[in-house]
Amino acid sequence: MTALYYDAHLHTRLCRHAEGEPDDYAAEAARRGVPGITVTDHAPVPGGFESAIRMTPEELPLYRAWIAHAQETWRGRVDVRAGLECDYRPGFERWQQRLNRSGDWDFILGSVHCNMRSYRRLYYRFDPEAYTRLYYDHLARAAETGLFDALSHPDVPKFMWPERWNPDRIRDTIGRALDRIAATDVALELNTSGTLKPYPEMNPSPFILRMMRERSIRVFLGSDAHEPARVGSGFPGALELLREAGYVKISFFVERNRIDRPIDEVARVLRK
Ligand SMILES: [Zn+2]
Ligand SMILES: [Zn+2]
């Protein structure tokens, strides 16, 4: 049985920069009336790159054991699902194929985190527009690999230069990337953790949500919680933003299949 909706972006202490285990996130979900969670901790990447902020390949079985334990413990109260948040960069495709086959995953979430050398160069050159163009090209390429069900927080460059984030100058860049993403049927996230960051609003910005809606791109909700207390946080406001952008449904993934639910139905449960 699938839940009415899920917080589909959560971490665990295995990534070394978050707190808690799936059981702790499920307990918080139960307390807050969130009917489902999909655990999506930071997956390993090739070459041990950034191993200080993610699980190792050897830890994948432990990760699955934690999720299985939470599934058992919370059965009938909170539906717990298994996912991964996977860093995408060109050249990672073979690795990603292997990860996708490494278990029965419910949700494979792709992320472009701007942690490649090319981003650093543009950052130190103070070239926000070139940086943003590179980011949106990578985001569209990630969708075009066909390896991900959805992509996370689709406007992170705004946190790099909060004072220079200029929607008008990058609208065409974003539009072209969204055209490419829409052609792949990959979903995008509305991530509620952005309100805690230097440009305090959710990701993406409302104008991007409207551009996504114009292209019929599906949206899923994620808190990106790195501590159990943030499970489901900001979801009522996120549903409101989606409505304002013209959305009537939100989506989530179970056994890597997309399920769409009416926003009204989800919002009624959230209000309780
Ligand atoms: Zn993280
Ligand atoms: Zn995340």
SS3 content of the chain, % helix, strand, coil (to 5): 50, 20, 35
245 membership: H or E segment, kind and range: none
User: In the structure encoding, which two tokens stand for residue 131, read together?
Assistant: 């940086």
pLDDT tens digit sequence for 70-124 = 999 999 999 999 999 999 999 999 999 999 999 999 999 999 987 777 778 887 7
Q: Look at strands 79-87 and 107-111 and give their pairing.
A: parallel
Distance 41 CA to ligand 2 centre (A): 7
In the reported structure, the alpha carbon of residue 70 is separated from the centroid of ligand 2 by a whole-number distance in angstroms of: 19
Ligand that lies nearest to the alpha carbon of residue 38, given by its number in the listed order: 2
Q: Residue 60: beta bridge partners?
A: none
Residue 1's pLDDT is: 85
From ligand 2's centre to the CA of 172, what distance in Å? Answer: 27
The residue ranges of DSSP E strands in the chain, in sequence order, are 7-10, 36-42, 79-87, 107-111, 150-151, 187-191, 219-222, 249-254, 257-262
Q: What whole-number distance in Å separates Cα of residue 12 and Cα of residue 62? A: 12
Q: Which ligand is located closest to the Cα atom of residue 225?
A: 2
- Domains belonging to the chain, first-starting first, are 7-271 (3.20.20.140)
Q: Which of 4, 11, 2 is nearest to 223 (CA)?
A: 11
SS3 200: coil
Q: Among all ligands shown, which has an atom nearest to the Cα of 153?
A: 2
Reported as a pLDDT band with limits 50, 70 and 90, residue 272 is low
Neighbouring CB atoms inside 10 A of 78's CB total 27
pLDDT digits (tens, 9 = 90+) for 173-217: 999 999 999 999 999 999 999 887 877 788 999 999 999 999 999
Q: What is the whole-number distance in angstroms between the Cα of residue 15 and the centre of ligand 1?
A: 7
Which helix (H) or strand (E) is 122 found in, with range?
helix 117-124
Of the candidates 226, 232, 191, 253, which has an alpha carbon nearest to the alpha carbon of residue 53?
226
The number of residues making up the chain comes to 272
Q: Is the distance from CB of 148 to CB of 108 less than 8 angstroms?
A: yes
Residue in this structure with the two tokens 């509305």, named with its chain if needed: 190
